[in-house]
Amino acid sequence: MQEIATRDPRFVIVRAIPDDAGLVLGFMRKLGRYQKMADQITATEPRLRRLLSERQGEAVFGLYDRVPVAFAYFSQTSSAFTGRSGLFIDGFLVDEDFRGSGLGRIMMEFLSREALDRQCEMLEWGCLDWNAPAIRFYEGLGAYCLDTMRVYRLAPDDLRSLADRA
């Protein structure tokens, strides 16, 4: 596991490998509880292992004194509206005891560098509208909200039903 040094000598970032699927799932479950959406975390370790193996998704962990305390799950994206590519952060969490310590900022700086290293021109993520601390954090980074759009999703059964009509 290659450690990526940060400006905090006690905090390093490591890239997830497929065998880290259980740790990814653990962070997603923590995120789900925090967001009051635990029942909507339906991922399984085998599904996450497949996504990581096929590089359809990636994750990084922030280790403080070698203990995982922060996490981001992301994937490559693009926009025909802007003609830009980017990274989309699907899950981002800093453990409660470490919030406000600057580790979240370090994680976002790393993800920003990762995006630029891939010739991306944007970094995007979602945030629940009631999560005022996260909104302040993101706006403090210089991010802005695209509040003119709703996100829609077809669940597996609906996806299959619609595809079967093709």
DSSP-assigned beta bridge partners for residue 5: 12
DSSP letter for 89, please: E
Whole-angstrom distance, CA of residue 35 vs CA of residue 153: 19
- Residue 64 appears among annotated catalytic residues: no
- Alpha carbon 136 to its chain centroid, in Å, reads 18
Task: Report the first-to-last Cα separation within the chain, whole angstroms.
Answer: 45
Assigned token pair, 126: 């979602």
| HSE value, Cβ hemisphere, 13 Å, CA-based, for 124 | 16
C-alpha 153/C-alpha 64 separation (Å) is 36
Residue in 34, 73, 138, 152 annotated catalytic: 138
What amino acid positions are annotated as catalytic residues? 138
